[in-house]
Amino acid sequence: MVAAQSREPRRIKATPFDFPYDGRLVAENTALVVIDLQQDFLSTTGYFARQGYDPSPLRAILPTVSRLIAAARKAGVRVIHTRQGYRADMADMTLYEKWRRKRAGLDGTDILLRSGTGFQIVPEIDVAPQDIIVDKTCNSAFIYTDFELVLRAQGITHLMFSGCTTDVCVHTTLREACDRNFQCLTISDACASGDRQAHEAALHMVTVEDGVFGTLTDSSAVIEGLSRLGDRPEATKG
């Protein structure tokens, strides 16, 4: 009886098909990716606000992301955070990026620098010692980082995406993950952008061509699906 139950498909309800497609939702192979929930993007004095965007839509998803993190840990699913920022000496910043920084009025500030307080993840998000943190300089978490190496080393093949912004860093990382043959799920109410139209378009693009960028669902479906994996708080990887 137990053996028969273990072979039953495990999926999360999603559009345009349930995740994962093969019904093999396994905690050890799955990660919740939390993109760039940093002070520089969510504070009223950070990069995002200085670009003229309202950070309140980004802050609004924090309770949802926190619930997802708790559910992931309870199920034994790895949590991976990303942070975007450059070296304090800006040696990793191209001439174009320096031009954009000056154009944005950021010269002389520590905004988007790893030495600045804004680089840190907001205190509303619990970062546990067993969580993985990937620091990046690009929109994609895969470029110039060890993100893919970490995923392969940990045996992670299924990614669930949350964070900000939906249309830029989340979507860029999602697209690259799909091209690298990871199975991807975007959590609609756990992602946000300062541009509502861009946010909605990015979510819509996930589902085009029958799921060209994976699948789309909301946090309640993810939490329900993870609950069926069992309560395994001790299931962490070294």
Give catalytic residues, as residue numbers.
Answer: 36, 136, 169
Instruction: Kindly state the tokens that stand for 146.
Output: 């060890």
* Phi, psi values for residue 17, rounded to 5°: -150, 160
Region of 181 on the Ramachandran plot (φ > 0 left; ψ -120 to 50 alpha; else beta):
left
CB 227 within 8 A of CB 75: yes
Under DSSP, is residue 231 helix (H, G, I), strand (E, B) or coil? coil
CB 235 within 8 A of CB 27: yes
User: CA 79: distance to chain centroid?
Assistant: 9
* Phi, psi values for residue 163, rounded to 5°: 115, -155
The DSSP line for 93-113 is --HHHHHHHHHTT-TTS-TTB
Q: Give just the sign of the alpha carbon dihedral 31, 11, 169, 220.
A: negative
C-alpha 116/C-alpha 183 separation (Å) is: 34
